[in-house]
Amino acid sequence: MSPEQQVQIHTTQVGESGSPVVFLHGLFGQGKNFSTIAKALQPDFRSLLVDLPNHGRSSWTERVDYTEHADLVAEHLRTGPAAEEPVHLVGHSMGGKVAMVLALQHPALVDRLVVADISPVPGGSTTEFAHLLDSLAELDLTDLSRRGEADDRLADRIQDARVRGFLLQNLRPDGEGFRWQANLDLLRRDLPAIGGFPELPDAVFDGPVLWMAGERSDYVRPEHVPEMRRLFPRTTQLTIKGAGHWVHSEAPETFVSALRTFLGGADR
């Protein structure tokens, strides 16, 4: 791969002091989705908000591959916040899978790992995400004059206004029109890979791990626990009451409190 083709990872730092915490967002997201959480962790922690490949202002890739994406993020961390000390790594959903693979493949870079509402197993349901991707891809942008029109047109297919607002963060002005910032075509094509998880038979991360799950979500199930504990033997599980899949946005105060307690606690 030539320098011109190298994947660039875009990040934003929040805070100047404290231990480094790196946040990896989920499908359709961007690093800035964790801005409120990162600000709430100051001044004890400084945060790095990562745009994963094919999202936000990071480069697009030719395929979705958790192993490759984890390597890309690891290389960025190795020359940045993890150059002098390991980082705390927090990942939600798709970002949680990248975080898990990164910790398994590059354990020296990670002090503590937090996984939010996802499991290290393939075969999770992607029906909801397929519907959302189809809805965005089929939205005609050619005659769109303002973002509000896109929201109106999506309302019949995506009835939750909060979800529409989250998705429409990916809509960017482009000249006199609009474009999608996320690589929708690739994400639609590789949705089975997004729902999968790579086989890493000999890998184990023996650092402390906090596994947070939403009470109303089914992405972390009892049958997933044996594989979770095989790969991450020092796991503590926490279920956030009343929360669904987007635990950090649905229960931000509980999420921040759990992070502070876990990241600031003594080694176990």
Show the 3-state SS of 101-129: HHHHHCHHHEEEEEEECCCCCCCCCCHHH
CB 34 within 8 A of CB 46: no
Choose, from 93, 119, 217, 249, the residue flagged as catalytic: 93
Catalytic residue, chosen from 47, 245, 248, 249, is 245
Task: Calculate Rg over the CA atoms of the chain.
Answer: 18
The reply to whether 71 belongs to the active site is no
Determine whether 185 is an active site residue. Answer: yes
Burial class (CB in 10 A: 0-12, 13-18, 19+), 157: middle
Collapsed DSSP state (helix, strand, coil) of residue 176 = coil
* Cis amide linkage into residue 198, ω under 30° from 0: no
SS3 49: strand
Q: Judge whether 160 counts as a catalytic residue.
A: no
Selected catalytic residue, list 185, 206, 218, 257: 185
Catalytic residue numbers, as ranges: 93, 185, 245
